[in-house]
Amino acid sequence: MSKKVISVVTLALILSLFALGTQTHSIYADGAATAPATERPEGTREANTSPFCAGINANAATPEANGPQQQPRAAMIAAAYGVTYEEVIGWFCKGYGFGQIDRAYAIAKLSAQGKTPMTAAQVLAQVDAGTGWGEIVSAAGLTMKDVNQARRAAFGHGRGNGNGHGKGKGNGNSNGIGNGDGKANGNSTGNSGGDDNGNEDASD
């Protein structure tokens, strides 16, 4: 076989291999383009399927026949910040944790007294946008210590001291009539949901 014939065969073989490689690459590229995304876009949350979300989310579990009518912690947060239970459970059913909801309401309550007031909805929107809690708090002119103290105060777990003293004299006679006196001292302290150094709790 002449060198010319060998060269032609070799060239044909090379072209065939190149065409096969191009076709294979095209198949993989098409597959990658049509493959479903494995990560949710930023700012989206998976709806909660808790039975307490029945009537809010279509795929929520069926509530127990004799179960509580309200989610206990959602009810506590609503009472602590003076908002409706429906509003709090609505955030929960959208996929937010109770720690996040609690913190958002605390920031909203504190910022209402400052120059840059924010609502809980605005706070959670920033969280969805990828903004960190520290940045959100700082933008509101607050510190994490302020927020954690507000969270404790909202649930009635602030700190306090009380002292009481009483003095008197009493005498009793044989007829059972008498007056008595005594002394009383008391102190009370409380702490919950973080510390005074501004550290966050683990409820998120």
Q: What is the mean pLDDT of the chain?
A: 72
Q: Over the stretch 148-195, which tens digit does the pLDDT of each residue have?
A: 999 999 998 655 444 444 444 444 444 444 444 444 444 433 333 444
Phi-psi region of 134 (alpha: psi -120 to 50; beta: other; left: phi over 0): alpha
Cα separation, 105 vs 151, in Å, equals 9
Contact 109, 80 (CB under 8 A): no
Residues in Cβ contact with 197 at an 8 Å cutoff, skipping those fewer than 6 apart: 145
For residue 172, the cross-strand partners are 178
- pLDDT score for 161: 47
Q: Over the stretch 109-163, which tens digit does the pLDDT of each residue have?
A: 999 988 889 999 999 999 999 999 999 999 999 999 999 999 999 998 655 444 4
Cα separation, 190 vs 123, in Å, equals 28
- The predicted model scores a pTM of 0.59
